Structure formats: structure tokens, C-alpha cells
């Protein structure tokens, strides 16, 4: 089968490998769609570390000596079932956190069926939606409060959709005009670029003279974090949901932020297993919103490509082409 790998800066290609074996308590599925998590995957494509020392490609993985797989969002059709599996059948369509490859193998604890009323194309972005929903929940906004989302990649755009579905007053901001327009389609009450003259006043006007109660930073930019700290109300919260691989040129806990009594917090997906809003509960809630048409993420899927074009789309994303947001891969 074909599997996408990255080996060194901006070197993505396909390997021919064996179809994975089926675990006794798991399944093998043939990929129908994979989704590109643009921020994470492009950072790997660029071969950028996540730590200042430059040792780690991922949070728990040091730079490998050879090629590394990329991606973690797959929807596939079950083609083989382990001897201990009773809840799945051949032909079921499931989500699994597998990389970009023709077949995926997983134990059943790490997969789930796609319910009726949810398209396979949308379901392919479930891990991205997990991260976005977790960011909103970690910010803990109250009914009627104001949410500002900075950075409109797939996580930021998904956060816009959740914030709107939750009923918060939502402003979205990005320098990319295309993504600003997509955020408007996905429910942002105000979608704006920081290059717009008087954008701070326009945001405050939309919030009826108030500052944001919660800021979600999804831009992988310390400049965006600083903007969030500057704009959020005294006593407000700034949630950082993006990866930062450089150091700031300002003090995020110094003057004038210390006296604002702010909460600066990181977010990394759903709560731990067994918590009220763990991955399973968050997933069920997301599916419910999608089935009831209370949330629509289709506008953020700007590109649908065949699997052999993944290296090409990585190159376009690396060049920061303005018209790309969410990318769906057909197998």
C-alpha cells in the first residue's frame, strides 16, 4: 500500500509498504478520506522542532533518523475484523487517528463509527474539531459573553463554529482575507483583518462597548498572543491552542498584563478520559450539533485532492497560499 512520509525539510513522498495486520481486538480499514491538519503537518513538512533545543519533532518524539509518517485524521471502510471484535462489521465506516495511507489498523478503543446524518468528509476533521471544542471549553465562557478568535486555520475556523453554536458573541480575526470570509460563513458575527483601519474600535463596537471576555489564539504567533492580552478585558482569559516554536519578544506576565489579573492558559484537546467532556462525550456532542445543523464546517474545506497530490498541497501550504484552509484527501 501507499503511505506518505516526510524525510527532512520539505521532502514528502510515498512509500510502498505492507498492509498492516489486524489486531485481535481491532480492525483494518481501507481509507476513504484523510484530512490535513495544516498547522501540525506543515510544521513537520518544514522539519521544525517543537522545543527550543531542537530535539523533538513532536511532543513525545525526537527527530527520527529516517522518514516519518504525517497526519492523524482518517475515515475508512472496515475490511477486516479481529477475532475478539463483536461491535463492528465488514463495510462499517469508521474514524481512526491514522496517517495518510491506503489502509489503517487500530484497536477498537481508538475508533468509532460515523453516525447517520454526518458526512464522511466532515467526519474526517474530527480530531481538529476535538481541539477546537476543547479550547472553547477550557476558556469557560459564560452565557452572553464575548469571544475573540485569532488565527483562522482549521482549528480557529472550527472554534468559530463551536463558539457560534454555543451562542457566544463571536469575532474572528486573521490577516488572510479568504479565511476572514470563511469565518463569516461559519457564523462569526464580525470577521475582520487586523489590517483594517480601526479594527480595535470595530471589535469593541460589535461587543456593545465591551472588551472580549475570552480570546482563543490559534495563529501560532506570539504577536497574536500579545494582541489577545492587549484586547481581553481585565480578569479575562486568553487560551493558547497553537504550537509555538520560538520565544516572545515581550513579557506576557509583566507590565501591563500583571495588573489586568488575566488567565493565560494552554489547551490541548478534550479533557482526560473519564472526565465530563472527555473525547467520547465531546465527539457525541459534536455529532449532535452537526446532525441538527447547528454547526456547519463545510465552508472551511476549500480543497479536495487525490492522495497523490499531498506533497503538492504541502508545497502550496508552505508558500502560504491565501486561498487554502481545510484540505480533504480522497483515496
pLDDT above 80 for 59: no
Q: Cβ atoms within 10 A of the Cβ of 102, count?
A: 16
Query: Is the distance from CB of 118 to CB of 291 less than 8 angstroms?
Result: yes
Query: Is the distance from CB of 33 to CB of 122 less than 8 angstroms?
Result: no
- What letter would DSSP give residue 4? E
Residues in Cβ contact with 208 at an 8 Å cutoff, skipping those fewer than 6 apart: none
Read off the pLDDT of residues 289-325 as tens digits, 9 standing for 90 and up: 999 999 999 999 999 999 999 999 999 999 988 889 9
* CATH 3.40.50.720 intervals, the chain: 128-266
* Stronger pLDDT, 320 or 14, i.e. the higher one: 14
Residue with cell 507590565: 255
Query: Is the distance from CB of 241 to CB of 215 less than 8 angstroms?
Result: no
pLDDT above 90 for 230: yes
Read off the pLDDT of residues 141-177 as tens digits, 9 standing for 90 and up: 999 999 999 999 999 999 999 999 999 999 999 999 9
Q: Cβ atoms within 10 A of the Cβ of 275, count?
A: 11
The residues facing 191 across adjacent strands are 172
| Averaged confidence pLDDT in the chain | 96
* CATH 3.90.180.10 intervals, the chain: 2-125+298-330
**pLDDT recorded at residue 288:** 95
Mean pLDDT of 75-98: 98
**pLDDT recorded at residue 65:** 86
Interatomic CA distance for residues 66 and 60, integer angstroms: 17
Interatomic CA distance for residues 24 and 293, integer angstroms: 38
Q: pLDDT class for 240, splitting at 50, 70, 90?
A: very high
Q: What share of the chain is helix, strand, coil (3-state, %, to 5)?
A: 30, 25, 45
pLDDT above 80 for 64: yes
Percent of the chain with pLDDT over 70: 100
Residue with cell 476558556: 139
Read off the pLDDT of residues 259-278 as tens digits, 9 standing for 90 and up: 999 999 999 989 888 889 89
Interatomic CA distance for residues 126 and 132, integer angstroms: 10
Read off the pLDDT of residues 319-329 as tens digits, 9 standing for 90 and up: 988 889 999 99
pLDDT above 90 for 58: no
Q: pLDDT class for 231, splitting at 50, 70, 90?
A: very high
Q: pLDDT class for 88, splitting at 50, 70, 90?
A: very high
Nearest to 131 by CA among 156, 95, 152, 108: 156
Cell of 303: 480543497
Domain at 128-266, CATH homologous superfamily: NAD(P)-binding Rossmann-like Domain (3.40.50.720)
Residues in Cβ contact with 260 at an 8 Å cutoff, skipping those fewer than 6 apart: 229, 232, 234, 235, 236
Q: pLDDT class for 53, splitting at 50, 70, 90?
A: confident
Spell out the CATH class of 2-125+298-330. alpha beta
Amino acid at each position: 500500500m501507499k503511505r506518505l512520509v516526510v524525510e527532512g525539510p520539505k521532502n514528502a513522498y510515498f512509500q510502498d509498504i505492507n498492509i498492516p495486520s489486524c489486531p485481535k481486538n481491532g480492525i483494518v480499514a481501507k481509507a476513504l478520506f484523510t484530512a490535513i491538519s495544516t498547522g501540525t503537518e506543515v510544521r513537520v513538512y518544514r522539519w521544525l522542532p517543537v522545543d527550543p533545543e531542537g530535539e523533538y519533532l513532536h511532543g513525545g518524539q525526537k527527530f527520527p533518523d529516517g522518514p516519518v509518517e504525517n497526519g492523524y485524521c482518517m475515515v475508512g471502510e472496515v475490511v477486516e475484523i479481529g477475532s475478539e471484535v463483536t461491535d463492528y462489521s465488514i463495510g462499517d465506516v469508521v474514524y481512526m487517528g491514522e496517517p495518510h495511507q491506503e489502509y489503517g489498523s487500530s484497536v477498537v478503543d481508538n475508533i468509532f463509527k460515523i453516525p447517520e446524518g454526518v458526512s464522511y468528509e466532515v467526519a474526517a476533521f474530527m480530531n481538529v474539531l476535538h481541539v477546537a471544542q476543547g479550547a472553547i471549553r477550557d476558556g469557560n465562557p459564560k452565557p452572553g459573553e464575548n469571544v475573540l478568535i485569532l488565527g483562522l486555520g482549521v482549528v480557529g475556523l472550527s472554534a468559530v463554529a463551536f463558539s457560534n453554536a454555543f451562542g457566544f458573541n463571536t469575532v474572528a480575526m486573521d490577516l488572510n482575507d479568504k479565511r476572514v470570509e470563511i469565518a463569516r460563513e461559519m457564523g462569526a458575527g464580525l470577521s475582520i483583518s487586523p489590517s483594517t483601519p480601526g479594527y480595535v474600535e470595530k471589535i469593541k463596537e460589535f461587543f456593545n462597548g465591551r472588551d472580549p471576555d475570552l480570546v482563543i489564539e490559534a495563529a501560532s504567533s506570539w504577536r497574536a498572543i500579545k494582541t489577545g492580552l492587549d484586547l481581553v478585558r481585565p480578569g479575562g482569559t486568553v487560551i493558547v491552542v497553537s504550537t509555538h516554536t520560538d520565544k516572545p519578544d515581550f513579557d506576557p506576565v509583566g507590565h501591563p498584563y500583571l495588573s489586568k489579573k488575566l488567565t493565560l492558559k494552554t489547551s490541548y484537546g478534550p479533557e482526560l478520559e473519564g472526565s465530563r467532556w472527555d473525547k467520547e462525550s465531546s465527539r457525541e456532542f459534536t455529532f449532535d450539533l452537526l446532525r441538527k445543523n447547528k454547526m456547519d464546517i463545510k465552508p472551511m474545506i476549500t480543497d479536495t485532492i487525490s492522495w497523490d497530490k499531498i506533497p503538492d498541497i504541502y508545497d502550496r501550504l508552505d508558500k502560504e497560499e491565501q486561498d487554502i484552509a481545510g484540505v480533504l484527501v480522497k483515496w
